[in-house]
Amino acid sequence: MDYRDGMPGDGAVLGGIARATFIETFGALYALEDLAAFLAQGSDAAYEAELADPDIAVRFALAAGIPVGFCKIGGLQLPAPTDDTGAIEVRQLYIFKPWQGVGIADVLTRWAIDTARGRGARQLWLSVFTGNPRARRFYARHDFVEVTPYRFMVGNQADEDILCRRDL
């Protein structure tokens, strides 16, 4: 595996992976209208704009030069119960299923932790679907503590996520 930072011009790659992995992992949970509305928010142009934002950092995982996953971090936008104005959040950590379980998520999570520390953050936050026990166990292994429930909207459907925090 190789890894590289996301850069301007990667919006279509980032958007393509984000949409495809979301469908692959969660698509069967939603009515088509809700799924389509959610995916439309993540257009290639929206991802391209994020890549131009200095607050956002993206790291790609590549197999034989082909992006198979990524991690994206930025300033805290989740409704986390914290007074830490410099907190960072993991906004997305998505990997195509054939490459799950081979250590990519560990590498990308360490990158997120190191990058957040390098930015001076004292806390790293994320949200995880309560119905995804594998992801919850993964984040617990990386010292994220489950803090409070959170409503994650996919179209008109509210999912129960949980906000998780790791002190840095």
Instruction: Look at phi and psi of residue 65 and say left if phi exceeds 0, alpha if psi is from -120 to 50, else beta.
Output: left
Please, what is the average pLDDT of the chain?
A: 96
Task: Grade residue 24 by pLDDT with cuts at 50, 70 and 90.
Answer: very high
Most distant CA pair in the chain, distance: 43
Q: Specify the pTM.
A: 0.95
For residue 33, the tally of other CB atoms under 10 A from its CB is: 11
Q: What single string gives the DSSP state of each residue in 133-147?
A: HHHHHHHHHTT-EEE
Cα angle 13-6-131, degrees, rounded to a multiple of 5: 70
Least Cα distance to 47 among 63, 60, 62, 58 occurs for 58
For residue 148, the enclosing domain spans 2-167
Residue percentage of the chain with pLDDT more than 70: 100
Q: Is the dihedral of CA 159, 92, 14, 66 positive or negative?
A: negative
- Domain with 159 in it: what CATH number? 3.40.630.30
Q: How many domains does the structure of the chain reveal?
A: 1
Q: Are 86 and 121 in contact (CB under 8 A)?
A: yes
pLDDT tens digits along 89-145: 999 999 999 999 999 999 999 999 999 999 999 999 999 999 999 999 999 999 999
pLDDT of residue 162: 98
